[in-house]
């Protein structure tokens, strides 16, 4: 963001820009309220982007705010909370590990989902990385994220009248988002370079501030780079192998160099998924360049590297032909001496002579390896068994740290208000303590139910207003107006399904028997409706086909407008969905969902999870905090669909519509309390980040400082 383009701020509210420039505002209610109050229509118009707001807001609005005592009270409170968060000395980390005050943790990921204004994410992996950073900020961890800038971002989705996904790319205007150029120690804009086959690529370094945590973003879109190199950082997950490889080299090798440029010497290095494995290669090269042996270098690098794997299917792991890696890194090897074959061998797997496997590099280069749920840990351990010949399943060094979500980010404001009032205003500090949630029993049923009704209405109003705009602007046919949710009923039981559209997630399971589904949706006085959202990767034809069929079903009179598809799924839409539905549907093909996190976001908002036994759900399901589709996967789609329909017909719909004389569904509300009380503590990012800290970061940091591991 370029400060020169900002209008002058009145002195009294001078720090608005600072508040807007740190994404800390996005998960804290006070600063959010400041921007909402400043100019509510503009807040809506900019899709909650205060940086853009401050560029557009009128001087009258600013002056009025600067004289309005009630605005100033909130502003002062927000600024003081901000100062406290940024300067925090008494954090969880600081209190627990005073000996590690000089340590830092580098966290690498190919995507980070922080806010919808910064479209540098595609899905769940990015949300996990963003939530990890935000929680690290709340806990006071000295964490630095490293990722990619992607000036073209991920695409915006439109759906054509026949249900085909249309991908629109819009160039990100850096002035409109909370990113800033990194300034190097010489006071110049931060730059590093990475040697690739056809020449050296220059990389600019940007930063995003998240309270106490900083995220560095690499960007190759510089005029001095060749056109094909400028393109490198433009989009997420390009399919073409050579470009993808070059991206990952820039991320791994360039990321280490960016940290070095800024004088960082991280104590622990965390690799989030195999896309980031070139970090290992660059760090080994660093040690070898100072005269160490390759094996000594590998031992050193391993000793403080953590690797989290997310992919339970072999095809999901990135591989590249050896010759491609060899030639792209030809100029890198020059500085690594004679050892290029040794380096390349880090990527070999199962005697496959032709491909360099990114996960193999990370497995060889990390002393702490983990999967993201217990079920995924078993699958992962079998999948990579050849790395530990003769070692039985349960003894292979692969642990499990189940994913979690950043509760302050995902909780609805109305639900957070309820917790403030009934659990105490400091509930966010204790939300990973299971005993603390015993207090939730005291929340009056009618208050919970009022919040649930409100959140469902927010979602439906959002869908309706979008359709209205599209209709008014001549961008939607009559059928599309129906498909986008105009006929949804604000009081009907609402099932939500929103995530990346891809074959293994089986979005169409609920359509297995269309007549039975139609009967469920149209039951007299007990209507049910389903809202869908999600993008298919531009190259994923098997993901686009179900999307198109579901969209056509949403237009089909057979379902009477009780099925809707909301376009352009992003973090904003995700918030409305996981907060506004009544039931959250999850039907992946087992065991392909490593963890899944959208059901966690739903559960903490009282949206009940309805899922097959995959990913995180077997760890969480208690019998009274949601439902388990318990037909075994081996029984096939028909049996699982039948189990799903039976749950809906016999359990879910009756419980939702069973009302007492006050109009309250008491059994349902009981389950809501069960869902919140079990999921919020155990599946929060707070629990997850503490687990990474205690099991990996701290033992590694202590070892690095030659302190006892505990």
Binding residues vs ligand PLP (CB under 6 A): 123-124, 127, 499-500, 570-571, 574, 596-598, 601
Decide the pairing of beta strands 399-400 and 368-371. parallel
Instruction: Tell me which residue of 285, 363, 275 sits closest to 329, measured CA to CA.
Output: 285
Instruction: Tell me which residue of 325, 165, 300, 148 sits closest to 232, measured CA to CA.
Output: 148
> Residue 381 CB, nearest distance to ligand PLP (Å)?
22
Give the separation between CA 229 and CA 53, rounded to whole angstroms.
33
> Residue 281 CB, nearest distance to ligand PLP (Å)?
30
DSSP one-letter code for 510: G
Give the separation between CA 566 and CA 546, rounded to whole angstroms.
15
> Residue 577 CB, nearest distance to ligand PLP (Å)?
9
Burial class (CB in 10 A: 0-12, 13-18, 19+), 472: exposed
Q: What is the DSSP string of 303-342?
A: HTEEEE----SGGGS-EEEHHHHHHHTHHHHHTTTTTHHH
> Residue 544 CB, nearest distance to ligand PLP (Å)?
17
> Residue 595 CB, nearest distance to ligand PLP (Å)?
7
What are the contacts of 75-81 at 24+ separation with CB within 8 A?
75/13, 75/16, 75/34, 77/30, 78/19, 78/25, 78/28, 78/30, 78/31, 78/33, 78/34, 79/15, 79/19, 81/28, 81/30, 81/31
Closest CB to ligand PLP: residue number = 124
- Exposure string of 41-59, with b = 16+ CB inside 10 Å and e = fewer, is ebbeebebbbbbbbbebee
Give the separation between CA 654 and CA 650, rounded to whole angstroms.
7
Q: Name the residue nearer to ligand PLP (CB basis): 253 or 536.
A: 536
Q: Name the residue nearer to ligand PLP (CB basis): 500 or 690.
A: 500
Q: Tokens at residue 243, please?
A: 């470009």
Q: Tokens at residue 580, please?
A: 């506004």
User: Virtual CA dihedral for 700, 373, 143, 357, nearest 10 degrees?
Assistant: 80
Q: Name the residue nearer to ligand PLP (CB basis): 512 or 609.
A: 609
**Is 129 in contact with 113 (CB distance < 8 Å)?**
yes
Q: Name the residue nearer to ligand PLP (CB basis): 46 or 586.
A: 586
Q: Name the residue nearer to ligand PLP (CB basis): 115 or 690.
A: 115
> Residue 566 CB, nearest distance to ligand PLP (Å)?
12
Q: Name the residue nearer to ligand PLP (CB basis): 149 or 498.
A: 498
> Residue 496 CB, nearest distance to ligand PLP (Å)?
10
Q: Name the residue nearer to ligand PLP (CB basis): 365 or 534.
A: 534
> Residue 499 CB, nearest distance to ligand PLP (Å)?
4
> Residue 571 CB, nearest distance to ligand PLP (Å)?
5
- Exposure string of 321-344, with b = 16+ CB inside 10 Å and e = fewer, is ebebbbebbeebbeebeebbeebb
> Residue 311 CB, nearest distance to ligand PLP (Å)?
13
Q: Name the residue nearer to ligand PLP (CB basis): 68 or 568.
A: 568
Give the separation between CA 277 and CA 252, rounded to whole angstroms.
6
> Residue 222 CB, nearest distance to ligand PLP (Å)?
29
**Is 571 in contact with 413 (CB distance < 8 Å)?**
no
Q: Name the residue nearer to ligand PLP (CB basis): 177 or 196.
A: 177
Cα 623 versus chain centre, distance:
28
Phi, psi of 523 (to 5 degrees): -55, 135
From the CA atom positions of the chain, what is the Rg in Å?
A: 25
Q: Name the residue nearer to ligand PLP (CB basis): 116 or 486.
A: 116
> Residue 598 CB, nearest distance to ligand PLP (Å)?
3
Q: Name the residue nearer to ligand PLP (CB basis): 119 or 266.
A: 119
Q: Name the residue nearer to ligand PLP (CB basis): 285 or 601.
A: 601
DSSP one-letter code for 271: E
């Amino acid at each position: 963001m370029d400060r020169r383009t900002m209008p002058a701020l009145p002195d009294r509210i001078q720090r608005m820009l600072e508040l807007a420039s740190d994404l800390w505002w996005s998960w804290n209610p006070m600063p959010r309220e400041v921007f909402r109050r400043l100019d509510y229509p503009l807040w809506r118009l900019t899709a909650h982007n205060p940086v853009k707001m401050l560029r557009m807001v009128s001087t009258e609005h600013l002056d009025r705010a600067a004289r309005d005592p009630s605005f100033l009270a909130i502003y002062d409170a927000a600024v003081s909370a901000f100062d406290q968060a940024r300067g925090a000395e008494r954090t969880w980390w600081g209190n627990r590990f005073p000996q590690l005050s000089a340590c830092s943790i580098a966290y690498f990921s190919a995507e980070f989902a922080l806010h919808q204004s910064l479209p540098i994410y595609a899905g769940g992996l990015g949300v996990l990385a963003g939530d990890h950073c935000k929680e690290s900020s709340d806990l006071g961890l000295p964490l630095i994220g490293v990722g990619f800038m992607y000036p073209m971002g991920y695409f915006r989705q439109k759906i054509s009248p026949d249900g085909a996904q249309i991908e629109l790319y819009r160039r990100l205007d850096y002035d409109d988002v909370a990113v800033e150029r990194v300034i190097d120690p010489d006071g110049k804009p931060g730059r590093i370079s990475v040697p690739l086959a056809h020449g050296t690529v220059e990389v600019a370094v940007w930063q995003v501030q998240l309270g106490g945590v900083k995220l560095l973003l690499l960007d190759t879109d510089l005029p001095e780079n060749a056109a094909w190199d400028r393109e490198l950082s433009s989009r997420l997950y390009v399919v073409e192998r050579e470009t993808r490889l070059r991206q990952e080299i820039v991320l791994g090798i360039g990321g280490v160099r960016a940290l070095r440029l800024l004088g960082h010497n991280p104590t622990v290095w965390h690799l989030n998924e195999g896309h980031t494995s070139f970090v290992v290669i660059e760090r080994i090269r660093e040690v070898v360049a100072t005269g160490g042996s390759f094996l000594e270098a590998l031992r050193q690098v391993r000793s403080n590297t953590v690797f989290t794997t997310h992919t339970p299917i072999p095809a999901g792991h990135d591989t590249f032909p050896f010759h491609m890696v060899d030639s792209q890194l030809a100029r890198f090897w020059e500085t690594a001496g004679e050892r290029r074959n040794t380096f390349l061998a880090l990527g070999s797997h199962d005697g496959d002579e032709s491909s360099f496997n990114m996960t193999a590099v990370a497995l060889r280069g990390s002393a702490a390896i983990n999967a993201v749920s217990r079920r995924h840990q078993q699958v992962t351990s079998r999948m990579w068994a050849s790395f530990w010949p003769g070692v039985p399943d349960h003894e292979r060094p692969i642990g499990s740290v189940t994913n979690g979500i950043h509760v302050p980010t995902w909780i609805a404001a109305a639900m957070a208000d309820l917790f403030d009032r009934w659990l105490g205003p400091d509930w966010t500090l204790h939300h990973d303590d299971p005993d603390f949630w015993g207090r939730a029993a005291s929340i009056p049923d009618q208050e919970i139910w009022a919040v649930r009704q409100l959140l469902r209405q927010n979602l439906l109003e959002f869908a309706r207003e979008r359709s209205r705009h599209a209709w008014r602007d001549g961008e939607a046919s009559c059928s599309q107006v129906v498909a986008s949710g105009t006929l949804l009923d604000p009081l009907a039981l609402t099932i939500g399904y929103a995530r990346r559209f891809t074959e293994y997630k089986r979005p169409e399971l609920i359509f297995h028997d269309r007549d039975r589904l139609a009967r469920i949706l149209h039951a007299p006085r007990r209507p049910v409706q389903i809202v869908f959202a999600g993008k298919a990767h531009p190259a994923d034809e098997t993901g686009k086909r179900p999307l198109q069929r579901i969209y056509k079903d949403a237009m089909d009179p057979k379902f009477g407008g009780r099925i809707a598809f909301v376009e352009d799924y992003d973090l904003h839409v995700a918030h409305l969905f996981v907060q506004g539905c009544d039931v959250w549907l999850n039907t992946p093909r087992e065991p392909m969902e490593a963890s899944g996190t959208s059901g966690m976001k739903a559960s903490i908002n009282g949206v009940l999870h309805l899922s097959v036994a995959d990913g995180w759900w077997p760890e969480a399901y208690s019998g009274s905090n949601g439902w388990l589709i318990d037909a075994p996967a081996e029984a096939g789609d028909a049996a699982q669909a039948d189990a799903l329909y039976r749950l809906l017909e016999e359990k879910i719909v009756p419980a939702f519509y069973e009302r007492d004389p006050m109009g309250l569904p008491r059994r349902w509300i009981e389950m809501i309390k069960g869902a919140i009380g079990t999921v919020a503590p155990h599946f929060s990012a707070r629990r997850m980040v503490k687990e990474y800290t205690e099991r990996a970061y701290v033992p590694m940091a202590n070892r690095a400082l030659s302190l006892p591991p505990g």
